[in-house]
A and B are shown apart, each in its own frame.
Chain A
Amino acid sequence: KNEVEQSPQNLTAQEGEFITINCSYSVGISALHWLQQHPGGGIVSLFMLSSGKKKHGRLIATINIQEKHSSLHITASHPRDSAVYICAVTRTYKYIFGTGTRLKVLA
Chain B
Amino acid sequence: DAMVIQNPRYQVTQFGKPVTLSCSQTLNHNVMYWYQQKSSQAPKLLFHYYDKDFNNEADTPDNFQSRRPNTSFCFLDIRSPGLGDAAMYLCATSRSTSGRAGEQFFGPGTRLTVL
Which positions in A face B, CB cutoff 8 Å? 30-31, 33, 35, 40-45, 48, 86, 90, 92-95, 97-100
* 13 A-B pairs with C-beta separation under 8 A: A35-B106, A40-B88, A41-B109, A48-B103, A92-B101, A93-B31, A93-B48, A93-B96, A93-B100, A94-B48, A95-B104, A97-B42, A97-B43
Give me the 3 closest cross-chain CB pairs, A-B, nearest first.
Answer: A97-B42, A42-B108, A93-B101
Chain B residues numbered 69-115 whose CB sits less than 8 Å from any CB in chain A: 88, 90, 92, 94, 96, 99-101, 103-109, 111
Q: Let me know if B50 is at the binding interface, CB within 8 A.
A: yes
Expressed in whole angstroms, the minimum distance between the Cβ of B44 and any Cβ of chain A is: 9
Expressed in whole angstroms, the minimum distance between the Cβ of B48 and any Cβ of chain A is: 7
In the complex, the chain B residue whose C-beta lies closest to that of A95 is: B104
Which residue from B48, B90, B94 sits with its C-beta under 8 Å from A42? B90
Expressed in whole angstroms, the minimum distance between the Cβ of B98 and any Cβ of chain A is: 11
Contacts of B31 in A (CB 8 A): 93
Which residue from A45, A48, A93 sits with its C-beta under 8 Å from B50? A93
